[in-house]
Structure 1
Amino acid sequence: MGFSVVLSILSAYDVNNMHELIINSIDDLLWLRLSQIVFPNQDLMSLNKLQKLVYNEGSANRSSFNEKPIQFAMCLLLTGQFETAIDLLNQIEQFRCHAVHIGIFLHESRLLSTASKSNSPMLITTSTVEDPLKSINYQRLLTSYTEKCRYDTELWQIVNYFYLLKQIRQKDGENCFIESLAVLLLKLDENDLDNLLERLFGMNRQGVPTEARILDHLDIDTSVVTANVGLYLEKHGNLELAAILYDRAKKTRQACSIYNRLLSEAIR
């Protein structure tokens, strides 16, 4: 019996034999199929064929996936379908933490295909000549995960997740770290906004500087980041906040320009 498995691996022809007497787990079967992959002979078992087989089997048996989502996700990961596995785990609340941190590891290892726009769906499928290419919206994966965090006690964790986006730029050139910080400011109520401005950028809305800045503890130029967040806010019409951040970043000319615009509009 063991000889038949060895022969199946060496020959790579017996790809339909399940070897039920020896193979007793999905992991064993996957490793067997991976061992039978032959490059570049597409008439035999190929990685693309194996990926389709695993994905289609899981999609066709949704009840099995609902019962054993971890097992299906492991099958996807073992066959290199990282983006699909992350998306599936992210849809289940109890596994979102795993989806995010698997995504972080794969992205840091340069193994993850990511979307180029922050407003894209979580999983994007791009049609190609051979096989569809799937990408994950990495920025949305991280920022949506931080929505469960409390701003008063877990701001440091939120900023650390955002910091992982510092090297990523969208298709329009916008830095994902800067955009995430700016969007965070925009969705807060007044009390949370004052608290975040003081703790994150070291200034309240009255323009009074404070000492502590979370950004100072990161490997970044805090003034540059503050000014860039201000620029993002200015481009999106949030002039008052932009002026405050320009002022904190010692960009006096930009801050005065905005204050003049606001003043001229107020006295018309």
Structure 2
Amino acid sequence: MTNRESHFSASQHPFLYFQVLFLTAQFEAAVAFLFRVERLRSHAVHVALVLYELRLLLKSLGQSAQLLSQEPGDPPMIRRLNFIRLLMLYTRKFESTDPREALQYFYFLRNEKDSQGENMFMRCVSELVIESREFDMLLGKLEKDGSRKPGIIDKFAGDTRSIISKVALEAENKGLFEEAVRLYELAKNPDKVLELMNKLLSPVIAQVSVPQSNKERLKNTAVAIAERYRSQGTAAEKSFNSTFYLLLDLMTFFDEYHAGHVDRAYDVIERLKLLPLTQESVEERVAAFRSFSDEVRHNLSEVLLAAMNILFTQYKRVRGAPAGTPGRSQITIEDRGMQLRSQARALITFAGMIPYNMAGDTNARLVQMELLMN
């Protein structure tokens, strides 16, 4: 405690000492003193807000300064208040439980910038949304028709899209990709929506779909996005767009495959023209492979193994059919067996030619299944 505080018995009579400082125009010191008393902290903040709005508050030049500080060149009695720190310290106790209330205070920072020149209102809103996870309440919600239901932020800002984009970027930087997808869609940024969805889908498309699983949740999200974009005519940058829909088709392929629907799975992979099913198409598919994104390439081993297993399953079924049973394309059993073996060899050739290091023993397993068909 300073000598002046002792003289006025400030700890016993905080309002008296506050009045002394305030009435001698030491507004910053008055606010800082009152803020130190826990039960009077809210009064200190509200006095500071009034002074700030009346432009009577001498503020610190940097956000990192102490609550009360002095700059070189200031007269001896002059002190500056770190207004930004004052508000952030005050709201810290309730921002996660009452983000609506915190937003009211952050609005006073709309004309303040941090040391990097970033708008403090946008920065605080971004941190508030990420911490509270109240995305819909604060920033608004996407309706089924693609329109945006306003959030609380609409009461404070006209350019809500830039704020939502800022929060989306913050979520993305923190690795909260699913939240970032929702926010980028809210901000009408299809490029980022599909870019992140591709990253999310790639690791799970070959997994078995189980209710309540990560894959099932992501699949439902992706399908909803695809339906919205198709109905509204929304399109992202071509590479993101093509990768997204290819990953969705591959997810369908694996769902059919894991369900034991080998013929339907075969039809999907044949329609996608991702793999060569004739020797003549090998080079064409190898050339096309170079244009695929990493999200697609990452799944190539699993796609090849599943496709080879489908051919092997069909081969066993054909070889086990009674004499005179027509094949899948009304050709003889022998001809169908030769066709399936030829397709298997095309997959082996393709796997050896593509400029990509596949996982583990993929090639060995492919060759092993192909040998079982001879």
TM-score with structure 2 length normalisation? 0.47
Q: Which of 173, 179, 183 is the matching residue for 2:127?
A: 183
Of the two, which has the highest radius of gyration? 2
Q: Which amino acid aligns with 2:155?
A: H
The 1:247/1:114 distance shift into structure 2, 3 A limit, reads farther
Match of 1:222 in 2: 160
SS of the residue corresponding to residue 96 of structure 1 reads helix
CA separation in 1, counterparts of 2:105 and 2:141?
Answer: 22
C-alpha displacement at 1:63, in angstroms? Answer: 7.4
User: 2:130–2:167: 8 Å Cα contact kept in structure 1?
Assistant: no
The 1:155/1:92 distance shift into structure 2, 3 A limit, reads same
Match of 2:21 in 1: 76
Q: Which of 71, 86, 98 is the matching residue for 1:141?
A: 86
Match of 1:58 in 2: 4
CA separation in 1, counterparts of 2:7 and 2:203?
Answer: 58
User: 2:63–2:115: 8 Å Cα contact kept in structure 1?
Assistant: no
Match of 1:123 in 2: 68
User: 1:73–1:89: 8 Å Cα contact kept in structure 2?
Assistant: yes
Is 1:107 equivalent to 2:65 in the alignment? no
C-alpha displacement at 1:117, in angstroms? Answer: 4.2
| Correspondence list, 1:148-163, <5 A | 148-149=93-94, 154-163=98-107
* Structure 1 stretch displaced more, 140-149 or 255-264: 255-264
Is 1:164 equivalent to 2:108 in the alignment? yes
> How many residues get paired?
202
Q: Which amino acid aligns with 2:57?
A: L
Q: Which amino acid aligns with 2:22?
A: L
C-alpha displacement at 1:258, in angstroms? Answer: 4.2
User: 2:62–2:115: 8 Å Cα contact kept in structure 1?
Assistant: yes
SS of the residue corresponding to residue 70 of structure 2 reads strand
**Runs of at least 5 residues in structure 1 that lack an aligned partner in the other structure:** 1-54
User: 1:116–1:170: 8 Å Cα contact kept in structure 2?
Assistant: no
Deviation readout 1:63-121 (Å, 9 max, x if unpaired): 71101111111111122221111111111111111101111011111111223444443
C-alpha displacement at 1:246, in angstroms? Answer: 2.2
SS of the residue corresponding to residue 80 of structure 2 reads strand
SS of the residue corresponding to residue 184 of structure 1 reads helix
User: 1:201–1:213: 8 Å Cα contact kept in structure 2?
Assistant: yes
The 1:265/1:123 distance shift into structure 2, 3 A limit, reads farther
C-alpha displacement at 1:176, in angstroms? Answer: 0.7
Is 1:245 equivalent to 2:191 in the alignment? no
The 1:89/1:250 distance shift into structure 2, 3 A limit, reads same
TM-align CA RMSD: 3.2
CA separation in 2, counterparts of 1:265 and 1:114?
Answer: 50
Is 1:211 equivalent to 2:144 in the alignment? no
Match of 2:117 in 1: 173
* Structure 1 stretch displaced more, 87-96 or 61-70: 61-70
CA separation in 2, counterparts of 1:160 and 1:238?
Answer: 28
C-alpha displacement at 1:125, in angstroms? Answer: 2.6
**Runs of at least 5 residues in structure 2 that lack an aligned partner in the other structure:** 205-294, 299-374
Deviation readout 1:113-168 (Å, 9 max, x if unpaired): 2234444432233232643753222222223222343756x433221111111111
User: 1:202–1:209: 8 Å Cα contact kept in structure 2?
Assistant: no
User: 2:58–2:81: 8 Å Cα contact kept in structure 1?
Assistant: yes
Q: Which amino acid aligns with 1:106?
A: L
CA separation in 2, counterparts of 1:113 and 1:261?
Answer: 48
